[in-house]
Chains A and B, each alone.
Chain A
Amino acid sequence: MILLQALAFILDGQNWVSGPRILYQLGVTLSISAISVLIVVVIATPIGIAIGHTGRGRGVAILLSNVTRALPTLGLLSILIVLIGVNATPVAIVLVLLGIPPMLAGVYAGIESVNRSTIDAARAMGMTEGQIIGRVEIPLAAPLIVGGLRATTLQIVATTTVASAFAFGGFGLYLIKGLNTADYVQMAAGAILVTALCLLIDGLLAVVQRLVAPRGVPRDGADSASPKPRARASRSRATATVSPLQEGMQS
């Protein structure tokens, strides 16, 4: 059984420090992912807040996410590597490009989902626009913002696997090396490691998503099908996953 042998490969403590050096490859995967996520957050958060707060520029964001969905990761990587060279820069550029749309969508959908009358109430109390954003909209939008961060992080970690195809380190290296040398145990071990890492990160961020939900606000469950009627955000989260494409490509 290849799967059992792969598990044995992973559980062998020796493999973590010498030979395949799992610990080192984990570090490579995590560090390039962390840097890319950080860049995405710095770029996408302010833009997402601006779109959500003003309600403008949504079309551009939807168009961007449609285009990146259609662009093959492998193609983007190969072009940038041919142009820039085999190093971390082209990989980081691709990771950031693919990571921006989900983060942007999470932020603007979150800000947009804040009840219009809550914002009006804040304004009536004399809050400045900055205070409304910082003290009302962001806290209320926090679960959706973290949801965007979660999607972005997963997208980025998963894409590092493909980046390994171009001799860049990370768990994907086991997949590619295993394939090329017909070492299917190593290949399966790589697949299990990267899958486990993704599930772990997803689980952790799901917990964070629950923790950042402001107290006293009814929790909008991850799969609530019936959004409360709102003045501004006329769409539920559930349909938001589908409708951007529909909207963006209609006409």
Chain B
Amino acid sequence: MTAVPALLVENLSVEFRTRSGTVQALERVSFAVPKGETLAIVGESGSGKSVTAYAVMGILDPAGKITAGRAMLGGLDLLAATADQVAAVRGREIAMIFQNPRTALNPIRTVGSQIADVLIRHANVPRREAPGRAVDLLRDVGITDPARRAKAYPFEMSGGMCQRVMIAIALAAKPSVLIADEPTTGLDVTTQAVIMDLIGDLARDIGMATIFITHDLALAAQRADRIVVMHAGHVIENAPTAELFARPRHPYTAELIAATPDAAASLAELASIPGSLPDLRRIDLPPCRYAERCPRRRVDCDAELPPAPAIPEHVVACRNPLS
């Protein structure tokens, strides 16, 4: 790993105030992405993948509160920075693409003008040149006939094409970090492969670090250099991709792998994961939030775990890991 990561998240904790109690959505989440690498954050719904991304981008729901931690983008702590400071880097240095491209785009403006907006705002492109540069960007993301497509509205395009437009917008200012939140959920596998290839190729061209959030373990296996596994707001394992699949150490990681259809020879061989996520509103949340579902639970699992470092080779948050 290189010395200075493009993005370093350390001990990030987030809670949500709701009428029925405070939800401990994230607790001491740490990870780092070096320049030019792809980090996948995987986990089931409710594990805190998206909340992590939203907290780093400063677009958390008003009910959410960051209670601890830092997110270093170069020399700037995004979590401690003023709104102006964050606005200055968001879109330029760190960009995000969202799950549903059709709802993330403005439905009543042409895609060309939406890309031009970003160029003017973030890439210091003169207003007159922006429409032309928008067409170039559409070409870069592999849209055929970009001049005509620039005049199209989002509803006139397929889901795959809308996602390409989102990528063009996110990469307009050549950011150093891209966060892609389930960028291909809802797209066909063939389109998914094309979009992931595109993100990978563009990231390589500009040496961008990519954080790729997905629930699809197989997709993460194929695309990421390193994988962070989350469960109930905790990072429970963080390892290089090949290492994680060859030797998963956290019992939950092993169960997730065993539940992925790709791995099994027959339906009976697929293993379900017993239990469900704990209620994160509970006051007496155990230090290990997997303990109540865990087949390898021991007495000392109820004791507090030391916080995991952000830059490890292979970190596992478990007292009784698989070897």
A, B co-complexed: no
Chain B residues with a Cβ under 8 A of chain A: none
